[in-house]
Amino acid sequence: MRVVRMAAAAVMQGASIAGQQATFIPPVFRQIRAAWRLALVALHLGWGCSVVALTFPWRSIPSQRRAKRIWSRQLLRRLGIRLEAGGVLPECGVLVVANHVSWIDIFVINALRACAFVCKDDVRHWPVIGWLTARTETIFIQRGSRSAARRTAEEVAEALRQDGAIVAFPEGTTTNGTELLPFRPAMLQAAIDAQVPLVPVAIRYRDRGNAISPAPAYDGDISLMQCLRAITLADDLVAVATVLPAIDAPTARRHLADAAHARIAEQLGFEVAGVAVAEDGASREEL
C-alpha cells in the first residue's frame, strides 16, 4: 500500500510539472503581455478620472460607491489579478483593518465593498492616483502631528456614525507579505467612539503554485512603477481577501489591536506568540 501511495504521489508530481511546462510563457511574450496590461491600466485610469470629474459631483453617495466598486474590480482584471474573496463586509458602519502588502490592497478591498481609506497625506501628490483618491472619500492623515491625528480620528468616527466603511492599515507600513507587523492601536479608537464593530480582513497574494507572490509587494526601496511592472509581468496572480468575524468595539483599543492582529495572523498562518502592539514608530510609513 505504501508503494502504491508513493507511486500515486510521483504521478501527481509529474502531472503538476507537466502542467507548469504546458503553461510556460516565453519571456518575450510575457513582456508584450505586460506592455498590453500597462496600456489597459493607463486607459482605465483615464476613464476613472473622467467619470469622477464629470459625474461624481452630481451622483449620490451610493451611486459613487457602486461605481468605485465596479471600477476597482475592473482594475484588478486589467492588471491580470484574479480576486478570490472569502466572506462579505457588512453594509453598516464598520472599521475595517487589514494587513498591508501593496497599494493594490486598496482596490482589493474596494472590490469587496466601496470604502473610504485612511492614508498618509503624501498620497495626494501621487500622479493620477492621488487626484482620484482625493475625490473618492479618502481621509488623509499628517504623520508626526498628534493634533492632526486627533482630528483624523474624529473625522473617521463621524464617518462611521454615518454608516460608512473606513479602512485602516494598522501596521503603519507595508511588508512583502511573509510577515505581520505589530498593530498600532491609535486609529482603532474611532471604532470605540462611534460604537461600531471592527472587521479584520486578511490579504494574501499567491502565484500559480499557491505560494506567496512577491510581485505586488510595495516595500523597501521598490518604487511605484517597479511594483506596477512586477504585477503586470506576473503569471496567474491571485488576490485572496478573507473577511474575518467582527470584533465588538466597546473595549480598550489595545485589546482591539491584539484581537484583530491575532485573527489576521491565524488566517495567514503566521505565529502570534509574543505580539507587542506598537503605539507608534515604524521603519517606513506607507498607505
Name the residue ranges covered by the structural domains of the chain.
26-268
Contact residues for 47 (Cβ-Cβ < 8 A; gap 6+):
none
Q: What does the pLDDT read at residue 198?
A: 94
pLDDT in tens, the chain (287 residues): 443 344 444 433 443 443 444 466 788 999 999 999 999 999 999 999 999 999 999 999 999 999 999 999 999 999 999 999 999 999 888 999 999 999 999 999 999 999 998 887 777 777 777 888 888 888 887 766 677 777 788 888 888 998 889 999 999 889 999 999 999 888 898 999 999 999 999 999 999 889 999 999 998 889 989 999 999 999 999 999 999 999 987 778 899 999 999 999 999 998 765 444 444 444 333 33
Q: Please give the Cα distance from 126 to 147 (Å, whole number).
A: 25
Q: What does the pLDDT read at residue 279?
A: 45
Q: What does the pLDDT read at residue 16?
A: 41
18, burial (CB in 10 Å: exposed 0-12, middle 13-18, buried 19+) = exposed
- Chain length of the chain: 287
Strands 116-120 and 165-168: parallel
pTM: 0.83
Which of 1.10.3470, 2.60.40, 3.40.1130, 1.20.1300 is the CATH number of 26-268?
3.40.1130
SS3 at position 154: helix
SS3 at position 106: helix
Question: Which residue is associated with the grid cell 484583530?
Answer: 260
Burial 41-77 (b: 16+ CB within 10 A, else e): beebbeebeebbeeeeeeeeeeebbebbbebbbbbbe
